[in-house]
């Protein structure tokens, strides 16, 4: 038996156990913070839904200054957004540019265990991929004369200057809150029908700057846009000096800025915000539970590494530690979520504490009450006495 790889695995699992502790601490903090954040968000939306004022978009009322207002109507911009780096004009209130570059990507060497005793290195490979972030030029690439050129520009968010909703000016944060949709461009939309010195071609929602768009080369660029077009919108925001800006709810400190396309009602707007907050709460609960299970698995991993001394027992212990990590997560995560939920809602916590105190008081009172004596058994009645007949004695029979 080659014990060196096994000893290295045991040492590595021991170091990973400390990382598992950090993951457990992070998961506990995430789950507790998520419940506090969720309670504050829903509370702020409840208050905002009650206090919001429906106003006329055409005539801002000075009496609503610094108040949460609901406005709906036609949002317009005096001129289109022009991307200064591509020269493309976009008829929109807001635009988001996404850029990807065709690059080399190094696939890290993978290691595979064989019977828990030896390690096999598969090797380094290179692949050509569209990547949003620059891929580093590694030593392995340099040894083969390969290099990833830097992208000509990156992602960007743009807003239209002077956008308005009726008599209100739209702030950048209000425009950024609007939902966006993919905007399909044509190569002729770019000045000179070229980008980064390469001709343009359209592939789906992407504009590809490449001399061979069907077989891109390293350094080629592709660009796509998402826009919030001008049109009817509905907005819940704070009125400030004739502008619509984010509203900060005083009681919870949460920010309220809700935007939707089309002519909605305040109930629709706040109901959608509640639904979005609920979805985010459950998504973060799921992420926290996954981090917790991963942390428990790393904490228990040294047991599986030591059990590999016995080839038959090792796989069974490894499967058992994974099952134990899942079981511990099912037990601990709901308790943390419930505790965070109660701590974020003091009224519910006080009601629960009062109910628990009442149950304890009733149980103690019942325990101290003296038991009633058993009912006395009825006294038996005396047997009936046969009456005697008085008179002269009878003569004996002959």
CA diameter of the chain: 161
Exposure string over 216-249, b if 16+ CB within 10 A, otherwise e: beebbbbbbbbbbbbeebbbbbbbbeeebbebeb
For the chain, the residue count is 398
Query: Angle, to 10 degrees, between the axis of helix 313-343 and the axis of helix 266-307?
Result: 150
Q: Is the CB of residue 253 less than 8 Å from the CB of residue 137?
A: no
Residue 32: closest CA among 346, 348, 279, 342: 342
**Beta bridge mates, 395:** none
Q: Is the CB of residue 43 less than 8 Å from the CB of residue 252?
A: yes
Residue 57 class from Cβ within 10 Å (0-12 exposed, 13-18 middle, 19+ buried)? Answer: buried
d(CA 233, CA 362): 58
The one-digit pLDDT tens for each residue of the chain (398 residues) are: 444 465 666 666 677 888 889 999 999 999 999 999 999 999 999 999 999 999 999 888 999 999 999 999 999 999 999 988 888 899 999 999 999 999 998 876 544 443 333 333 356 788 889 998 888 888 878 878 888 888 888 999 999 999 999 999 999 999 999 999 999 887 777 776 667 678 888 888 898 888 888 889 999 999 999 999 999 999 999 999 999 999 999 888 999 999 999 999 999 999 999 999 999 999 999 999 999 999 998 888 887 777 766 776 777 877 888 899 999 999 999 999 998 888 877 776 677 677 777 777 777 777 776 665 666 666 666 666 655 555 566 666 54
d(CA 321, CA 306): 12
């Amino acid at each position: 038996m080659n014990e060196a790889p096994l000893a290295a695995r045991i040492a590595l699992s021991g170091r990973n156990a400390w990382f598992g502790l950090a993951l457990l601490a992070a998961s506990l903090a995430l789950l507790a913070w998520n419940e506090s954040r969720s309670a504050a968000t829903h509370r702020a939306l409840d208050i905002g839904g009650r206090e919001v004022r429906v106003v006329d978009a055409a005539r801002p009322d000075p009496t609503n200054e610094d108040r949460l207002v609901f406005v709906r109507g036609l949002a317009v911009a005096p001129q289109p957004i022009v991307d200064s780096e591509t020269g493309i004009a976009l008829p929109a209130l807001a635009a988001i540019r996404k850029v990807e570059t065709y690059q080399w990507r190094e696939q890290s060497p993978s290691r595979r265990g064989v019977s828990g005793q030896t390690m096999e290195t598969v090797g380094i490979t290179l692949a050509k991929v569209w990547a949003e972030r620059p891929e580093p030029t590694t030593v392995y690439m340099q040894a083969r004369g390969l290099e990833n050129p830097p992208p000509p520009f990156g992602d960007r968010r743009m807003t239209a200057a002077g956008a308005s909703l009726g008599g209100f000016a739209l702030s950048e944060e209000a425009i950024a809150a609007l939902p966006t949709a993919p905007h399909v461009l044509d190569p002729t939309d770019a000045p000179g029908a070229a980008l980064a010195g390469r001709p343009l071609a359209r592939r789906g929602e992407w504009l590809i700057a490449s001399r061979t768009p069907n077989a891109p080369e390293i350094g080629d660029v592709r660009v796509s846009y998402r826009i919030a077009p001008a049109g009817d919108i509905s907005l819940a925001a704070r009125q400030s000096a004739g502008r619509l800006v984010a509203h900060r709810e005083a009681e919870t400190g949460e920010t309220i800025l809700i935007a939707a396309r089309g002519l909605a009602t305040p109930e629709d707007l706040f109901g959608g915000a509640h639904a979005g907050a609920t979805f985010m709460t459950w998504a973060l609960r799921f992420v926290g539970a996954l981090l917790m299970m991963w942390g428990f698995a790393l904490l228990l991993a040294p047991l599986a590494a030591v059990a590999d001394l016995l080839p038959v027992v090792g796989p069974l212990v490894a499967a058992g530690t994974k099952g134990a990590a899942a079981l511990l997560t099912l037990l601990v995560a709901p308790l943390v979520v419930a505790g965070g939920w109660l701590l974020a809602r003091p009224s519910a916590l006080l009601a629960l504490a009062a109910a628990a105190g009442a149950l304890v008081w009733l149980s103690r009172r019942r325990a101290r009450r003296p038991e009633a004596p058993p009912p006395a058994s009825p006294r038996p009645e005396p047997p009936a006495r046969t009456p005697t007949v008085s008179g002269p004695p009878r003569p004996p029979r002959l």
